[in-house]
Chains A and B, each alone.
Chain A
């Protein structure tokens, strides 16, 4: 069976490019055609620029012809969540507010990809300003889950996940504030990783919650995720929260033997109320497989787990209320044509430009920061955040990796949770803590529900030890090959 080119892994495509089986331009055209044939169903792309993608691919071919290939990513079409800054490209954050905005500069992670020869392909859909878990808050389009077009792809990086799952790009970048990479990866049956806070520069990532946001990869295999992560990781002077650590060769560190003798922490709090039995069944089976691969299960407790949602929705909204203040109708954002004075410009432009969920979070965030409430909410939440981080630190004294479900349920239907924000917020119950603790987390496909919807296993690692985490995920992935399954479109 000859696999479709658009479902091949980055390593396979790179091999084809270097042997001359395909040119970068042909490869770009393959993904452009794929996008044109399936995206009216999937709806992953907010916008794309075929011409500039082909120009970049042509340059890649030119380098290769001269023997100056920039490596494994040279010529590989990479999709970007529509909140990542590339000079000359639109950046909408899936919001009317930024409908006409074009970024005048390129962010660090994207510049690093460019320097490796990656070809940018498409601006991918998301929840507005990354606020949501289903992509339904996008002001522009509906992204559907490639495995079942009646279901949501997850969010907020739903477009990035769906595009990779549907073979519309080779891999993509998203951002994860409370699960926005791992949850859609899980629901779309692909690999998605949130690195340790500080590993990837946030310069050029439109901020939602600065102390939680991280850029990370989506890919159809752990190896591809490792390649993409290695390209974007590393200290950046322009991001004061980026960490100066040596970036190891993640790909070289991958080993099918990596789980041997490792202690796998399984926190009881992640298998209780709210987790669908089908999901926990598949995740438990995956953990059993990891034991077969040489791991040892250690039951652990992360006692502050249930405080994650309130803490997250205080810290994240507080930061967001301030981060989104710049979208004010004055300089580059939507400005209301009804505005008569300066106060009007603010009120009307923001009323028209922001969607419901964004407004809800700005109001919530402004409230928890207001004078008289700061200590009771924001300061207290920060203290609990320290406790949550402490839970993980304690656990990692005895275990090497923690395994949990990524999402409490499989992909749900459109509209199922939009009227009940709280139930939507609970979609991130398994992932949020990892952001609050600043740790790396990866979602790997771990099987399918009875109605053939993918489910993901979340592995949580030690800070800045992405190499081990990727290797554990790789060992599991290679033992069961769930990642080889693709949706029929």
Chain B
């Protein structure tokens, strides 16, 4: 029998606000333990929560970007459970009247050919609600320490419908969500810093069945690759259970990245009764039409929309947009460059996405020591590819080639001042020194030789030296001309304008 997996995700994202969700303490990462606290965070007797309206606005913003409905009234509830990560022993969350309902996340599945756009589909959302993050526990042999710096950080929970069927779809979903949220500036979604975490619900059923199988929850997956691996493992485990006739238990399982397996944490019987009830310390909030309108009026463009716009407006091929359009810094770099020189956006996009990013990534390879320490402390890093992309992005801001100088380089290539071959050397020089292409070309005398008289002389010399190639070309072997052009380039010390050489050579041979 064939089986099908059914997967739903609960993704937690810390919102980038200045202060915490219910008090005016700042929230930051990697501060000394318990320094970002106040009486409210410690839950001393008599303290009360005060809503952070910025967090509410940012959540609504994401909701609107994802096509959610925003109910007029929203409220906060207490989720009661005893654990030292929660100083009040209840978490302020939203139970039955969340900020956002419905909506969906557009995802792109990988195409067979990486240079082509894959299939797009919508993963439906159940809801998005807003709550507070909890503190962090560190366990030792005989005791545990708690750090409340993270406690009270505004945290969105984005709940999907059980709408995914493979780890590829989950990967695409998390990637799209991450890109959408980070492009909107709502969160950096840095999974290593715990800014984005997810709980995964997986069940399997015979293909074509209507009913869902028994659901297993995997909690606190802290990287996209861990999500992918744990889901693959869990689907396989559950299918094997069904094949062997072993009952799947409704339970919560933990993903052990080291061993590459999931392990049972607690069964349904041990599940908490959270005793949800409306928080009497906070009033329900009415979302006014004016607030919705003002958020709608300034809604950021969704990355996939931007990608489609770039492909249409700038005639860019899919391959150069697939990374760039999901990154604000790259896009604003690109747009600044196009503003300076708007005749060849494609060449600019290519140079940015291929040459510049590659250079940035390799330039960073030597100095990544600090990042490596960071991984040791905070556990499983994402794949190296993700790391280097993130690093390259980080260095873009400090890059010596500005959008303006990059546009300048493309412009002088287009106008034939230098050849593409030479452009590579100029590019490297620009990357090192920050000088403009024009400066480098004039300093080093790299300008292309476009003197037709001189080029004709080089061509005639080359033809005389290799009559065989001339005959072959005449006989119809187009490639034979390369054997003639090579010596011309050599004779001109690489400065001959290749397009002109080609024209002149063809003309001479056919005469």
Question: Is this pair of chains taken from one and the same complex?
Answer: yes
Interface set of A (CB-CB < 8 Å, partner B): 83-85, 91, 93, 98, 101, 103-105, 107, 202-207, 209-211, 237-241, 318-319, 321-322, 325-326, 328, 330-332, 342, 346, 366, 369-371, 374, 378
Interface contact A322-B44, CB-CB below 8 Å:
no
Nearest B residue to A325 by beta-carbon distance? Answer: B89
Q: List 26 A-B contacts (CB under 8 A).
A: A83-B45, A85-B44, A91-B45, A101-B45, A202-B46, A203-B47, A206-B45, A209-B280, A210-B281, A211-B280, A238-B48, A240-B48, A240-B283, A241-B282, A325-B82, A326-B43, A326-B45, A326-B87, A326-B88, A326-B89, A328-B84, A330-B84, A331-B87, A342-B84, A371-B275, A374-B277
B118 within 8 A of A: no
B273 touches A371 (CB 8 A): yes
Q: Mark B49-60, 1 if CB is under 8 A from A, else 0.
A: 111000000000
Closest CB in chain A relative to B188 CB, distance in Å: 29
- Check: B90 CB closer than 8 A to any chain A CB: yes
Residues of the B chain whose Cβ atoms lie less than 8 Å from the Cβ of A321:
80, 275
Return the chain A residue nearest B89 by Cβ. Answer: A325
Interface residue range, chain B: 20 to 34
Least Cβ–Cβ distance between B54 and chain A, in angstroms? 15
Chain B residues in 8 Å Cβ range of A209? 280
Q: Which residue of B lies closest to A101 (CB)?
A: B45
| Interface pair A318/B82, CB less than 8 Å apart | no
Q: Are B283 and A238 in contact (CB under 8 A)?
A: no
> Which chain A residue shows the least CB distance to B76?
A240
Known: A210-B281, A241-B283, A370-B273. A98 touches B45 (CB 8 A): yes
B78 at the interface (CB under 8 A from A): yes
Query: Which of B44, B80, B84, B282 gathers most chain A CB within 10 Å?
Result: B44
Q: B42 in the interface, Cβ–Cβ < 8 Å?
A: yes
Q: Which residues of A contact B50 (CB under 8 A)?
A: 237-238, 240
B39: Cβ under 8 A from any A Cβ? yes
Cβ distance B279 to chain A, nearest Cβ, rounded Å: 8
Q: Report Cα–Cα, A207/B78, bound state, in Å.
A: 15
Distance in Å: Cβ of B456 to nearest Cβ of chain A = 83
Known: A101-B45, A205-B46, A369-B276. 15 other contacts (CB 8 A): A91-B45, A103-B44, A203-B46, A206-B46, A207-B45, A210-B281, A238-B48, A240-B51, A241-B280, A322-B275, A325-B80, A326-B45, A346-B82, A371-B273, A371-B274
A104 adjacent to B44 (CB under 8 Å): yes
Give A205 to B281 CA distance when docked, in angstroms. 12
Q: Determine the chain A residues whose CB is within 8 A of the CB of B46 once the complex forms.
A: 83-85, 91, 103, 107, 202-207
Contacts of B282 in A (CB 8 A): 240-241
Give min CB distance, A334 to chain B, whole Å.
13
Closest to B275 in A: A369
Complex contacts, B84 vs chain A, CB 8 Å: 328, 330, 342
Is B48's CB under 8 angstroms from A202's CB?
yes
Cα distance, A319 to B275, chains bound together (Å): 11
Interface centre among B43, B87, B88 (most CB of A within 10 A): B43
Interface residues of B in 77-101 (CB under 8 A from A): 78, 80, 82, 84, 87-90
Is the pair B87, A369 in contact by a Cβ cutoff of 8 Å?
no
Please indicate the chain A residues that have their CB under 8 angstroms from the CB of B281 in the complex.
207, 210, 240-241
Shortest B142–chain A CB gap in Å is 10
User: CB distance A331 to B275 under 8 Å?
Assistant: no
Residues of chain B contacted by A202 (CB below 8 angstroms):
46, 48
| A207 CB contacts on chain B under 8 angstroms | 45-46, 281
- Given A325-B88, A325-B90, A328-B89, does the pair A319, B45 have CB atoms closer than 8 Å? no
Minimum C-beta distance from B148 to chain A (A): 9
Bound Cα distance from A239 to B282, whole angstroms: 8
The 6 closest A-B pairs by CB, nearest first: A325-B89, A206-B45, A210-B280, A369-B275, A211-B280, A326-B43
Of chain A, the residue at the smallest CB distance from B84 is A330
Contact call B39/A104, Cβ cutoff below 8 A: yes
User: Please, what's the 1-or-0 string for B22-66, where 1 marks a CB less than 8 Å from any CB in chain A?
Assistant: 000000000000000001001111111111000000000000000
| Majority secondary structure, B binding face | loop
In Å, the complex CA distance between A211 and B39 comes to 21
- The residues in B between 380 and 412 inclusive whose CB is less than 8 angstroms from any CB of A are none
Rounded to whole angstroms, the CA-CA distance of A238 and B49 in the bound complex is: 7
Q: Binding site of A, secondary structure by majority: helix, strand, loop or mixed?
A: loop
Point out the residues of chain B lying under 8 angstroms from A105, CB to CB.
Answer: 39, 44, 47
From residue B356, how far is it (CB to closest CB) to chain A in Å? Answer: 49
Chain B residues within 8 Å of A203, by CB: 46-48
- Nearest-neighbor residue (CB-CB) of A98 within chain B: B45
Q: Which residues of B contact A83 (CB under 8 A)?
A: 45-46
> Smallest distance from the beta carbon of B103 to chain A beta carbons, Å?
28
Residues of B within 8 A of A103 (CB): 44-46
A322–chain B nearest beta-carbon distance, Å? 5
A205, A331, A346 pick with most chain B CB within 10 angstroms: A331
A331 to B49, CA, bound (A): 19
Neighbouring A residues of B89 by C-beta, 8 Å: 325-326, 328
Q: How far is the CA of A369 from the CA of B272 in the complex (A)?
A: 13
Give the complex CA separation of A202 and B281 in angstroms.
9
Which of B48, B274, B277, B283 makes the CB contact (< 8 A) with A318? B277
Contacts of A342 in B (CB 8 A): 84, 144
Residues of B within 8 A of A330 (CB): 84, 146
A321 vs B275: C-alpha distance when bound (angstroms): 10
Assembled-state Cα–Cα distance A205/B80 (Å): 21
A425 CA / B88 CA spacing, docked (Å): 28
Distance of A208 Cα from B43 Cα, bound (Å): 14
Complexed CA–CA distance, A239 and B47 (Å):
9
**A205 to B276 Cα, complex, angstroms:** 23
Q: Which of A204, A205, A206, A369 contacts B277 (CB 8 A)?
A: A369
Closest A residue, CB atoms, query B22: A240
Bound form: Cα–Cα A320–B152 in Å: 21
The distance from the CB of B82 to the nearest CB of chain A, in whole angstroms, is: 5
**Nearest-Cβ distance from residue B42 to partner chain A, whole angstroms:** 6
Q: Which residues of B contact A318 (CB under 8 A)?
A: 277
Distance, CA A84 to CA B44, complexed state (A)? 12
**A366 near B275 (CB under 8 angstroms)?**
yes
**Interfacial chain B residues near A239, Cβ < 8 Å:** 48
A331–B283 contact, CB under 8 A?
A: no
Q: Report how far A241 CA is from B46 CA in the complex, Å.
A: 14
Q: Which residues of B contact A371 (CB under 8 A)?
A: 273-275
Complex Cα–Cα for A85 and B280 (A)? 20
Give min CB distance, A431 to chain B, whole Å.
19
- Chain A residues whose C-beta falls within 8 Å of the C-beta of B88 in the assembled complex: 325-326
Q: Which residues of A contact B80 (CB under 8 A)?
A: 321-322, 325, 369
- Closest-CB distance, A404 to chain B (whole angstroms): 26
Q: Smallest Cβ distance from A126 to chain B, in angstroms?
A: 13
B37 smallest CB distance to A (angstroms): 11
**Structural contact, A319 and B280, CB atoms closer than 8 A:** yes
Chain A residues with Cβ under 8 A from B146's Cβ? 330
Whether the Cβ atoms of A240 and B49 lie closer than 8 Å is yes
Residue of A nearest to B144 (CB): A342
Q: A210-B280, A241-B281 are in contact. Are A370 and B45 (CB under 8 A)?
A: no
Nearest chain B CB to A200 CB, angstrom units: 13
Chain B nearest Cβ from A170, distance in angstroms: 24
Chain B residues closer than 8 Å to A104, beta-carbon distance: 39, 44
In the docked arrangement, what's the CA distance between A85 and B47, Å? 9
Q: Is the CB of A85 within 8 A of B45?
A: yes
For the complex, what is the distance from the CA of A267 to the CA of B60, rounded to whole Å?
48
A202 to B46, CA, bound (A): 7
Contact B280 A370 (CB under 8 A): no
* Nearest-CB residue, chain B, relative to A97: B45
Contacts of B49 in A (CB 8 A): 240
Least Cβ–Cβ distance between B243 and chain A, in angstroms:
35
Q: How far is the CB of A198 from chain B (nearest CB, A)?
A: 10
Task: Enumerate B337-361 residues with CB–CB distance to A below 8 Å.
Answer: none
Which chain A residue lies CB-closest to B39? A105
Complex Cα distance, B78 from A407, in Å, reads 34
Q: How far is the CB of A234 from chain B (nearest CB, A)?
A: 15
- Residue of chain A at shortest CB distance from B273: A371
Q: How far is the CB of B40 from chain A (nearest CB, A)?
A: 9
In the complex, chain B residues whose CB is within 8 Å of the CB of A326: 43, 45, 87-89
